[in-house]
């Protein structure tokens, strides 16, 4: 009983150590998030202020998922969000209403293609098989918590699962609980198998072919894009895949080799060479029926909506960035050190307050972390090329005070890129 209690304490110590490591990993980096504007790949004439998406001229013949309306709405919403154009979705448009000598407008038209495809294939995973009463129970419990697929090793009747960090921690906790309940097999015997699966999954796809035509003194098509994206369902549901074969890693101990072969041989030193097919390749798990062929109706309505929304956003991204300046989110690390309050303000998105706090410190008393965080404050709140010039200068100062610091060099690189793009961006956004 004393031995069990000691082992139990060791497991809880291991559990505590894992928790501390995870907590440390999550809290090491302090990050600041802010948006920056990037220029479009094609410079649209500045006089083009209005854009009309012609729904009547967007073909939907091959739109099997029926996403045309969602695509056009999302396109208008994103272009309006970036502010370069005033965008409307219209069913008709009378060109004669435009005075080509006074204004220029743009028309978007094209086609939307979408549908679903059956994805057939095979994959493998490495599973750890656990024996013993407590081992089997804890493995089953951890698999249920993490929603992992399990198989029963027909070699020794062990419970096999792939395992993740979270489920492995759960297994340790369950083992400790079983030990307290009087099950002494705290460290059950284990072996590993490579499991091979065949699957049939559903992949949704979408493609948009749009043209952007400027109508003014001259009629000109500036961009014709063909952008596509696909989304495959994760291989998680048991009816979408089947275990068809298991190969055991038998190079564990000399005893295990003897128990299998009944011939005294030495352990095989290389894991790859030690693979031995123990299961009948024709043997199937779960069911001997053919795998069902999925279709779009198999997706739950909520899941289908979420998948299609992601699909539409991915599909439109390239076209939007071709014709309009756009904003991207930058996640930059805050330097730890210097004025702590300034770092906290940057994490909260209060770059102007952080800037004032650091600038109140005499330059000779600023640490390299202060100079870097000052640059980050200017970068996060930049509204002009001069702000990026100042940010770059402060990053360089931080790097000079602490040469070779990767974090400071990354700041210099980011602002250098912004400054290269500034001239192009000014042409696209200045009134």
Running DSSP on this structure, what letter comes out for residue 63? B
- Residue 176: the pLDDT is 73
In DSSP terms, 168 is beta-bridged to none
List of residues 6+ apart from 422 with CB closer than 8 A: 385, 388
- Measured torsion, CA atoms of residues 294, 300, 303, 307, in degrees rounded to the nearest 10: 40
List of residues 6+ apart from 190 with CB closer than 8 A: 128, 129, 130, 131, 135, 158
CA pair distance 386, 363, nearest whole angstrom: 20
> Is there a domain that residue 177 lies in?
no
294 and 364 fall within a common domain: no
302 and 406 fall within a common domain: no
CA end-to-end span of the chain: 82
- Which of 285, 304, 323 terminates a domain? The answer is 323
279 and 381 fall within a common domain: no
- Residue 369: the pLDDT is 94
List of residues 6+ apart from 87 with CB closer than 8 A: 50, 51, 52, 53, 75, 76, 79, 80
List of residues 6+ apart from 74 with CB closer than 8 A: 312, 313, 316
- Which of 323, 348, 363 terminates a domain? The answer is 323
From first to last of its 431 residues, what are the pLDDT tens digits of the chain?
A: 333 334 344 433 443 434 433 333 344 467 888 888 889 988 888 888 899 999 999 999 999 999 999 999 999 999 999 888 999 999 988 877 777 677 889 999 999 999 888 777 887 878 888 887 777 888 888 878 877 777 776 656 788 888 777 777 777 777 777 666 666 554 555 677 787 777 877 788 889 999 999 988 777 787 776 666 666 665 555 667 777 777 765 444 433 443 444 444 434 333 333 322 233 333 334 445 667 677 777 777 887 888 889 889 988 998 999 999 988 888 899 998 888 899 899 989 899 999 999 999 999 999 999 999 999 999 998 878 888 999 999 999 999 999 989 999 999 999 998 988 888 888 787 65
> Is there a domain that residue 367 lies in?
yes
Residue with tokens 């304490």: 9
Asked if residues 314 and 229 have their Cβ atoms less than 8 Å apart, the reply is: yes
> Is there a domain that residue 180 lies in?
no
- Residue 2: the pLDDT is 36
88 and 214 fall within a common domain: yes
- Residue 189: the pLDDT is 59
CA pair distance 373, 338, nearest whole angstrom: 9
Q: Helix %, strand %, coil % for the chain, to 5?
A: 45, 30, 30
378 and 275 fall within a common domain: no
**Which tokens is 7 given?**
């082992």
Q: Under the phi-then-psi rule, with left for phi > 0, alpha for psi from -120 to 50, and beta for the rest, what region is 113?
A: beta
> Is there a domain that residue 208 lies in?
yes
Residue with tokens 């990053």: 395
CA pair distance 116, 95, nearest whole angstrom: 38
- Which of 323, 357, 380 terminates a domain? The answer is 323
> Is there a domain that residue 362 lies in?
yes
310 and 377 fall within a common domain: no
CATH, residue 416: 1.25.40.10
318 and 339 fall within a common domain: no
Domain span at 334: 325-429
**Tally of structural domains, the chain:** 2
> Is there a domain that residue 161 lies in?
no
Asked if residues 114 and 65 have their Cβ atoms less than 8 Å apart, the reply is: yes
- Residue 104: the pLDDT is 87
- Residue 269: the pLDDT is 38
> Is there a domain that residue 76 lies in?
yes
Asked if residues 8 and 180 have their Cβ atoms less than 8 Å apart, the reply is: yes
198 and 292 fall within a common domain: yes
CA pair distance 417, 36, nearest whole angstrom: 12
CA pair distance 195, 74, nearest whole angstrom: 43
- Residue 226: the pLDDT is 66
424 and 283 fall within a common domain: no
Residue with tokens 């699957």: 199
> Is there a domain that residue 3 lies in?
no
């Amino acid at each position: 009983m004393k031995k069990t209690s000691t082992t139990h304490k060791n497991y809880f110590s291991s559990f505590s150590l894992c928790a501390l490591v995870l907590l440390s990993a999550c809290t090491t980096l302090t990050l600041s998030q802010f948006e920056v504007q990037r220029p479009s790949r094609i410079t649209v004439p500045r006089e083009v202020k209005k854009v009309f998406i012609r729904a009547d001229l967007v073909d939907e013949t091959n739109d099997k998922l029926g996403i045309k309306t969602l695509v056009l709405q999302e396109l208008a919403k994103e272009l309006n969000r970036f502010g370069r154009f005033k965008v409307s979705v219209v069913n008709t448009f009378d060109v004669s209403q435009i005075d080509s000598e006074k204004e220029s407008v743009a028309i978007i038209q094209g086609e939307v293609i979408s549908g679903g495809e059956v994805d057939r294939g095979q994959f493998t995973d490495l599973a750890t098989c656990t024996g013993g009463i407590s081992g089997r129970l804890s493995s089953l419990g951890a698999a249920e918590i993490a929603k992992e697929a399990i198989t029963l090793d027909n070699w020794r009747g062990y419970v096999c699962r792939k395992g993740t960090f979270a489920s492995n921690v759960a297994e340790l906790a369950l083992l400790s609980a079983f030990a307290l309940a009087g099950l002494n097999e705290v460290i059950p015997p284990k072996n590993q198998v490579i499991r091979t699966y065949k699957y049939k999954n559903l992949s949704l796809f979408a493609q948009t072919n749009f043209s952007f035509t400027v109508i003014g003194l001259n009629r000109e098509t500036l961009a014709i894009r063909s952008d596509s994206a696909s989304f495959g369902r994760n291989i998680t549901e048991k009816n979408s895949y089947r275990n068809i074969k298991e190969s055991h890693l038998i190079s564990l101990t000399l005893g295990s080799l003897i128990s299998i072969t009944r011939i005294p041989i030495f352990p095989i030193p290389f894991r790859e060479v030690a693979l031995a097919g123990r299961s009948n390749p024709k043997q199937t798990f779960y069911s001997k029926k053919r795998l069902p062929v999925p279709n779009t109706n198999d997706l739950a309505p909520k899941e289908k909506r979420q998948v299609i929304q992601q699909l539409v956003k991915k599909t439109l991204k390239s076209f939007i960035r071709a014709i309009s300046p756009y904003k991207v989110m930058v996640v930059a690390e805050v330097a730890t050190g210097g004025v702590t309050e300034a770092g906290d303000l940057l994490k909260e998105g209060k770059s102007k307050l952080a800037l004032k706090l650091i600038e109140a410190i005499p330059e000779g008393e600023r640490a390299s972390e202060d100079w870097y965080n000052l640059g980050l404050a200017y970068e996060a709140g930049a509204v002009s090329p001069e702000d990026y010039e100042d940010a770059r200068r402060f990053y360089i100062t931080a790097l000079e005070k602490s040469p070779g610091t990767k974090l400071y060099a990354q700041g210099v690189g980011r602002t250098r890129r912004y400054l290269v793009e500034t001239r192009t961006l000014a042409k696209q956004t200045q009134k």
